Amino acid sequence: MGRVTRRAFTVAALASLAVPREAVAAPEPPGASLEKRSTVHRPRRTATEMRGMWLATVDNRDWPSRTGLSAARQRGELTALLDAAVRRRLNTVILQVRPTADALWPSPYEPWSRYLTGTQGKDPGWDPLGTAVKEAHARGLRLHAWFNPYRVALNDDPARLVASHPARRHPDWVVSYGGKLYYNPGLPEVRAFVQQAMLDAVTKYPVDGVHFDDYFYPYPVAGQSFDDDTAYDRYGGGFTNRAAWRRDNIDRLVRETAAGIQRIRPGTQFGISPFGVWRNASTDSRGSDTRAGAQTYDDLYADTRKWVREGWIDYIVPQLYWNIGLAAADYATLVPWWAEVARGSRTKLYVGEALYKAGDPAQGAAWQDPAELSRHLTLAKKYPEVRGHVYFAAKDVAADPSGAMARVVADHYGQPARPPR
């Protein structure tokens, strides 16, 4: 299967799920050992695993439901999604705060996101990221700030950006590709700028994590080339080919961002959620037994396996958005492959789950069964390297029209859990 996009549109309400009461122990027969009695009556310990959800703001995917809502409506929708995470016994929310070279906090570097007001650069009258951190922590949730490093716009017209936008002040930083605008990862000044812009949020807010998704160099578009000739001519001389130079550019972003986070706010987690296939085994014997149409190493120039093995990141969440048994990219094949990659490293492995596919009639037969996702968690439990799961995305966690999320909770989340540290 080729590139997987994060798109699903569902809305509905969900009643709270009650935490089951502990079972009452049967009376002990006379002479039962004290050790056995203490075991029977000992309360359950809180589990430790990641139970997260992505909360996407690009294109108003999850929140706000549309642009131009009042500050009060925006806050209300945000806290309702946080409440949904609590009802589902999740413990972490990954909030997209820089979807397209913009900001969901008052940034001195980039404009306010148009997904708030409908107008890029317009002050929404409140601080969404600051509020999200405060409200998440009040509910016992951890809040990870999700940034997209290089995407500038979902169109290719720079004139549609606000006049003060850095991409308009530095047009030489920008590459038009596939109908969109991107910052050029091959320019050191771009890499320095995007880190400065993102780390501003880490400086200002006690976020629990910093998160990148799967967009580094853009996904390939047939018949088009990403025009970084000038940058390659200037900076690529020490590399055997352009692909190696591009991978080094992304490696530098990852290493430097990790160092910056620890310098500014030590202990803050840094994680990345890449496309689920590093390389197919037909391309590289170290790769997975898959036939995916995209490979992060070759197409996005993201050596995700290396980042785990070198311990550059605190956690990785490969987007394993496929069902068990899919021939081209079988969930049951990819979980053990990623478990082997993570084994012995300092990088924690969580699995990205395609909740948005559950019950979608456009998906295959497997996704019409509300037990499919629950089976994913059952399978993953066989691998101790898997430390939890993250669900795409928040609107689907709350609405759950197929009942797949409720099934996961009933089967696997019977008690609270703390996220790993």
pLDDT at 421: 86
Q: Which of 254, 267, 165, 152 is nearest to 211 (CA)?
A: 254
Cβ atoms 402, 358 nearer than 8 A:
yes
pLDDT at 401: 95
Q: Which of 115, 147, 116 is nearest to 271 (CA)?
A: 147
| DSSP count for the chain of H helices, then E strands | 13, 13
End-to-end CA distance of the chain: 33
Cis bond before residue 64 (omega within 30° of 0): yes
Give pLDDT < 50 ranges for the chain. Answer: 1-43
In this structure, which long-range contacts are made by residues 14-18, counting pairs with CB atoms below 8 Å and at least 24 apart in sequence?
14/84, 14/87, 14/398, 14/399, 14/400, 14/406, 16/87, 17/87, 17/88, 17/89, 17/406, 17/409
pLDDT at 14: 28
pTM: 0.90
- Which contiguous run of DSSP H or E holds residue 387? strand 386-392
pLDDT at 193: 98
The whole-angstrom separation of Cα 413 and Cα 15 is 16
pLDDT at 9: 31
Between vectors from CA 343 to CA 341 and to CA 349, what angle results, nearest 5°? 70
